[in-house]
Structure formats: structure tokens, C-alpha cells
Amino acid sequence: MIVNDLKETKKGYIVTIDDKEYKFQEDTIVDFRLVKGKEITKEILNDAIKAEDLNYYYNKALDYHIRYMKGRSEIYTYLIKKGISQKNANTILDKLENSKVLNDKNVIESLIRTYIKDKNGILMIKKKLKSKGFDINDIEDELSKIDLDIYYECLESLYQKIKDKYNKYDDYMRINKIKAYLLQRGYTYQDINTLDIK
């Protein structure tokens, strides 16, 4: 088989091999040396097509990770739903991790900051992170590093926002309802005891 032509487009290259057109990205062109006039085997062409397919899903996974702050587990599920094999999904994830693009601990740290700003307590944060498939040890490790000043500022801010919501109740009931609301948001009794609830 002969590479008859190579045309650059906005989205990569169109390579003509034995008068049939194939779309490839620059990485695939370089890796398989698909230059004009080169003779290649059917096996090389098939390998190039497979590599291009993997590259396509790699870029999809990368975009999904960056756009939606997804970790390894969620990206894996995303790729499987796209119809690729478990082996290829793991190959893509390993490539993302080896290139330092994907790091679950960094994703966890970023999500924790977001969840704290959204006024979620530790227990709710842990639950949300576990539901995303993150390793519990990584979750615990990153939670141990949170800035408690910011955490308690957000708790205080939430308390100030909701404290008048239950004014129609007597003091005992009002305080219990405030505490119940904060518990539902994932704050612990220890967290709630830092507030001056009146």
C-alpha cells in the first residue's frame, strides 16, 4: 500500500492511501511515519487506525476531565459508556495520569474547596466524594488538610442565612430545627457547637 497524499485540515490531516482517504491527527502521522510516497502494510494501517481511535477517546476523556472536574472512576465509566473496551479505557486513564493531567488527589482537593464554599459539611463532602468513586484514603487525606478557618466561616455564613427561618417556633424548637438543618448539610455536632446559636 502506498501513501498517495497528505493534506492538512483544521482538524488534522487527510491521508490518501491507495486512493482511499483516512483522517489522522499529527501524532498518528508522526508515530506511523505516514509520509507521501511511503509504502506501508495493511497491518501498519490498521495499527494507525486503532491508535487514532484511541487518541480520539483520549481527547474526549481529557475534555470531560477538564470541563467537569472528573476523577479516574467517573472518566472510566464515561469511556465504557462510549463503547470502548476496559483495556483501552485503562490505557487512556494511565496515559492521562502519566502525563500528570489526571490526579485524583488534585481533583478531590478542588472539589472539597468548592463544596465548602457551597456550605456543605464534612460528612456531606465525604458522601459526595465517595459517590464519585474516589478512594476513601485519598478523601480522608485531603479532608485532613482543609483550612478550618474558611470551613467555619462558611458554616457561620450559612447559620446567619438560615437563623431567622425558624422564628415562628419557640426557642427550644427553633434551635433544634437549626441544628437539624445543619446536620442535614453534613456538619457534625462538633462543628455546630462552634456556633453561638441563640
Residues 6+ apart with CB under 8 A from 19: 4
- Is residue 45 located within the same domain as residue 76? yes
Q: Which residue has the cell 488534522?
A: 12
Q: Which residues pair with 13 in a beta bridge?
A: 8, 24
Q: Is the pLDDT of residue 161 over 90?
A: yes
Give the model's pLDDT for residue 52: 94
Residue ending a domain, among 98, 116, 139, is 98
| Strand-pair category, 20-24 with 3-9 | unpaired
Residue range 72-123, pLDDT digits in tens: 999 999 999 999 999 999 999 999 999 999 999 999 999 999 999 999 999 9
Region 46-67: mean pLDDT is 95
Residue 35's domain comprises: 3-98
Contact 108, 71 (CB under 8 A): yes
User: DSSP labels for 47-103?
Assistant: HHHHHHHHHHHHHHHHHHHHHHT--HHHHHHHHHHTT--HHHHHHHHHHHHHTTS--
Same-domain check for residues 162 and 88:
no
Span 167-181, pLDDT tens digits: 999 999 999 999 999
- When divided into structural domains, the chain yields a total of 2
Q: Please indicate, yes or no, whether the overall pTM of this predicted structure exceeds 0.75.
A: yes
pLDDT at 198 over 90: no
Same domain, yes or no, for 36 and 82? yes
Query: Domain end: 62, 81, 98, which one?
Result: 98
Whether residues 66 and 116 fall in one domain: no
- Contact 191/121 with Cβ under 8 angstroms? yes
The answer to whether residue 64 scores a pLDDT higher than 90 is yes
Which residues are within 8 A (CB) of 91 and not within 5 positions of it... i.e. 6 or more apart?
54
pLDDT of residue 129: 98
Read off the CATH number of the domain in which 59 is found: 1.10.10.10
φ and ψ at residue 5, rounded to 5 degrees: -155, 160
CB half-sphere exposure, 78, CA atoms < 13 A: 21
Residue 198 lies in a domain: no
